Structure 1
Amino acid sequence: MVMAVALVLLVVGTILFHFLSPWWFTPIASNWKMMDDTVNITFVVTGIVFVAVNLFMACAVFLYRHRQGRRAEYAPENKKLEWWLTILTSIGVAAMLTPGLFVWAKFVTVPKGATVVEVVGQQWTWSYRFPGRDGALGSTDARLITPDNPFGIDPNDPRGADDILISGPELHLPINKPVKMLLRSKDVNHQWAVAQFRVKMDMVPGMVTYFWVTPTRTGHFDVLCEQLCGLAHFAMRGRVVVDEENAFQAWLSNQPTYSETRARVAGNASAGQALYVVCSACHGPQAQGNQTLNAPKLSSQAGWYLATQLRHFKQGIRGASDQDIYAKQMIPMAATLADDTAINNVVAYIDSLPDEHPRATLSGDPDRGKSLYTTCAACHGTAGQGIWSTKAPRLAHMSDWYLARQLHNFQQGIRGTHPQDFAGAQMVLMAKILPDERAINDLLAYIHTM
């Protein structure tokens, strides 16, 4: 009797939870309402089976409970019942699968005139590519991927010259226009997913997968990777911004083409030396850093990282928090560099300066720090050398007091909270694995041994 009542309460509680639960679909923002309809059909079919099976079990437990003088009847076969179960099960499975097949057929049948966008996944970020005026994307090859050609575009393919490159994880799309999404991965399996669009698709190295979608609501929507892709999988996030047509075209026109990125002139160290005079007042003539002035060591740091940070200071992406007082000081200093040419020149000069191992200012246990660094190594490299493809700067031979401050800033939300600081947002999540000051000091003590 108790078991029968428990089964009935289980059914009633499940039904109430289903209809009263606040965890439901996010408001849809695309044409794929059919996805919701398919899920609802699945809920109905499985719900009916769940209720029927559990109520049948409750009835069986109650009606055939043990009674004095009553013996169980042994009936191993019942062909009539088996036929009914087979037929009803087949109908239920068909009811769940058939709508999905129709939706899938439509999901991969791209309407004519759809805008084409390529999605590129890699550990642990996204980038995008639009065709240029010729309407065709240039061919790519993984063997051509370099820091100067992160998309691996074939320079000998004329179709790729006007391809529009989006090197960050934020994608803009026009509202009420179909978009064909081409997806490829540079390294491991990923899955591009936007919950409000009701779309997701696997990205397999060596293959190009695709689907199409029509955004129907303006706004900002999170992009998630929903295929386990390594240690920082949980931090692989991006954003889709759906704009009105005019705003979308304005955004697209400000993005560089492949030919423009190839035409960029390399930095000139001689020209950068004159610009560095201002920087040297704090960072030192050899870019060795000065803790008294809260200026970190710059020499031996990756040029791409220094250039990115200078642009972020100029754009207000770094120093966005009023609590980040030293970054606030850097904003007017970065503004003295008039353009990208000036930034590239000063970075080239810093790159020409000798590397010196700074003295340790913190004490910790490097043996314990070695185990903590295992997580960091996935992005920053086993020797702390930094990896451009994961947007992770060099840590070895850098100022330990500065690294400690940045870890604290990430943990406290002082750095990495600006909407455009996607790499910083990843570090906000990663820094939380260090539970206390001792862990930070141990980690930095190990990094200092590199």
Structure 2
Amino acid sequence: MLIAVVLVLIVAGSVAFHLLSPWWWTPIASNWDYIDDTLVITFWITGAVFAAVVLFMAYCVWKFRHRPGHKAEFDPENKRLELWLTGVTAVGVAAMLVPGLFVWKQFVTVPDDATELEVFGQQWNWAYRLPGADGVLGTADAEWVNGENPLGVNPHDRFGKDDLIIEGGEVYLPVGKPVKLLLRSIDVLHNFYVPEFRAKMDMVPGMVTYIWLTPTRTGAFEVLCAEYCGTAHPFMRGYVSVVEEEEYQEWLQEQLTFEEYASDAQGKETTRVAQRQ
């Protein structure tokens, strides 16, 4: 009886913890409330199965406890029960998977009017690149990465000369405008993750992965690396500031183009060499 009571208390305590504890997600700040919905569906289904299984165990412990004069029966086959369990399991798994397939299709289908933003991860900081006045990102590759060109922008690509280079870990996005994030890394695995956006993706050296989203409310949201990337992994943080269009355009005007950035870096290097001499 004690075991049966403990099992019932486990179910009751789990439900109470789920409903009363402050474990719920932070308020969403993008269009991906669909991801929250699919997670809630999964929690309800798995929670119901958990409660049913544990309560059934408690019932069996109580019902088939040892009592004088009762003899245990061995009944290994019950086709009716097996069919019911198979059918209910199939329905439950389908109910968890099907919504996710629809959401995944939306997740990988980028709107035609989405602005491109390149996110560059490197132990242990973030940098970004935006298209310049021509609206086109220039090509980039790890072979071009150096002290004067930390993002590896192709210096021979005319489309890259006016690209905007953003260092320091903070980037601005306009509210209500879709953006496609092109994710790059040149050293180890990273993962670009903003909890309020509900979207994340691994950054794999040698590949360009992507996610897209539409920010839905203004504010400053912390960027985290969600893939262990070395000793300073917990400190690989930054901020995405979602602002109104006017403020966003003002911020863009303050950023250096790749051509200006490279020229400035070359000037600093020349000065350092002269000072050493």
Class of the TM-score when normalised by the shorter of the 2 chains:
over 0.9
Q: Is the 8 A contact 1:267 1:348 kept in 2?
A: no
Alignment correspondent of 1:28: 28
Q: Is the 8 A contact 2:148 2:266 kept in 1?
A: no
Letter in 2 for 1:20: L
Q: Which runs of 4+ in 1 moved over 3 A?
A: 265-268, 347-352
Residue 56 of structure 1 pairs with residue 56 of structure 2:
yes
Shift of 1:132: 1.1
Tell me how far apart the structure 2 counterparts of residues 13 and 255 of structure 1 sit (CA, whole Å): 54
Q: Cα deviations across residues 358-397 of structure 1 (Å, max 9, x unaligned)?
A: xxxxxxxxxxxxxxxxxxxxxxxxxxxxxxxxxxxxxxxx
Tell me how far apart the structure 1 counterparts of residues 274 and 154 of structure 2 sit (CA, whole Å): 31
Letter in 2 for 1:54: V
Tell me how far apart the structure 2 counterparts of residues 248 and 195 of structure 1 sit (CA, whole Å): 22
Letter in 2 for 1:182: L
Shift of 1:231: 1.5
Alignment correspondent of 1:37: 37
Letter in 2 for 1:174: P
Tell me how far apart the structure 2 counterparts of residues 84 and 125 of structure 1 sit (CA, whole Å): 53
Q: Cα deviations across residues 170-196 of structure 1 (Å, max 9, x unaligned)?
A: 111000111111111111111101111
Tell me how far apart the structure 2 counterparts of residues 191 and 351 of structure 1 sit (CA, whole Å): 39
Alignment correspondent of 1:253: 253
Alignment correspondent of 1:97: 97
SS in 2 for 1:206: coil
Alignment correspondent of 1:332: none
SS in 1 for 2:261: helix
- RMSD of the TM alignment (CA)? 1.5
Tell me how far apart the structure 1 counterparts of residues 137 and 151 of structure 2 sit (CA, whole Å): 12
Q: Which runs of 5 or more residues in structure 2 are unaligned?
A: none
Q: Is the 8 A contact 2:119 2:129 kept in 1?
A: yes
Alignment correspondent of 2:143: 143
Alignment correspondent of 1:12: 12
Q: Is the 8 A contact 2:26 2:196 kept in 1?
A: yes
Tell me how far apart the structure 1 counterparts of residues 266 and 108 of structure 2 sit (CA, whole Å): 43
Instruction: Assess, with a 3 A threshold, how the Cα gap between structure 1 residues 128 and 267 changes in structure 2: closer, same or farther.
Output: closer
1:214-363 alignment runs, 5 A limit: 214-264=214-264, 266-267=266-267, 345=271, 350-352=275-277
Shift of 1:27: 0.7
SS in 1 for 2:38: helix
Alignment correspondent of 2:70: 70
1:417-432 alignment runs, 5 A limit: none
Alignment correspondent of 2:182: 182
Q: Cα deviations across residues 7-54 of structure 1 (Å, max 9, x unaligned)?
A: 000000000100100121101111111111011001110011011001
State, as a whole percentage, how many aligned pairs show the same letter. 57
Instruction: Assess, with a 3 A threshold, how the Cα gap between structure 1 residues 151 and 57 changes in structure 2: closer, same or farther.
Output: same
SS in 2 for 1:264: helix
Tell me how far apart the structure 2 counterparts of residues 265 and 92 of structure 1 sit (CA, whole Å): 58
Which one has a larger percent strand, Structure 1 or Structure 2? 2
SS in 2 for 1:70: coil
Alignment correspondent of 2:158: 158
Q: Cα deviations across residues 373-426 of structure 1 (Å, max 9, x unaligned)?
A: xxxxxxxxxxxxxxxxxxxxxxxxxxxxxxxxxxxxxxxxxxxxxxxxxxxxxx
Instruction: Assess, with a 3 A threshold, how the Cα gap between structure 1 residues 250 and 73 changes in structure 2: closer, same or farther.
Output: same
Letter in 1 for 2:135: G
Letter in 2 for 1:14: S
Q: Cα deviations across residues 152-209 of structure 1 (Å, max 9, x unaligned)?
A: 1111111111111112211110001111111111111111011111111111111111
Shift of 1:262: 2.5
Shift of 1:348: 5.2
Shift of 1:264: 2.7
Tell me how far apart the structure 1 counterparts of residues 254 and 202 of structure 2 sit (CA, whole Å): 30
Does 1 or 2 have the higher relative contact order (CA < 8 Å, sep 6+)? Answer: 2
Q: Which runs of 5 or more residues in structure 1 are unaligned?
A: 269-302, 304-343, 353-450
Alignment correspondent of 1:306: none
Residue 198 of structure 1 pairs with residue 194 of structure 2:
no
Q: Cα deviations across residues 234-286 of structure 1 (Å, max 9, x unaligned)?
A: 11111100011111111111111111122337458xxxxxxxxxxxxxxxxxx
Q: Cα deviations across residues 119-148 of structure 1 (Å, max 9, x unaligned)?
A: 111111111000112221111111110000
- Alignment length (residue pairs): 277
Shift of 1:62: 0.5
Tell me how far apart the structure 2 counterparts of residues 99 and 120 of structure 1 sit (CA, whole Å): 32
Shift of 1:349: 5.6
Larger-Rg structure: 1
SS in 2 for 1:173: strand
Alignment correspondent of 2:109: 109
Tell me how far apart the structure 1 counterparts of residues 234 and 121 of structure 2 sit (CA, whole Å): 14
Instruction: Assess, with a 3 A threshold, how the Cα gap between structure 1 residues 265 and 148 changes in structure 2: closer, same or farther.
Output: closer
Alignment correspondent of 1:171: 171
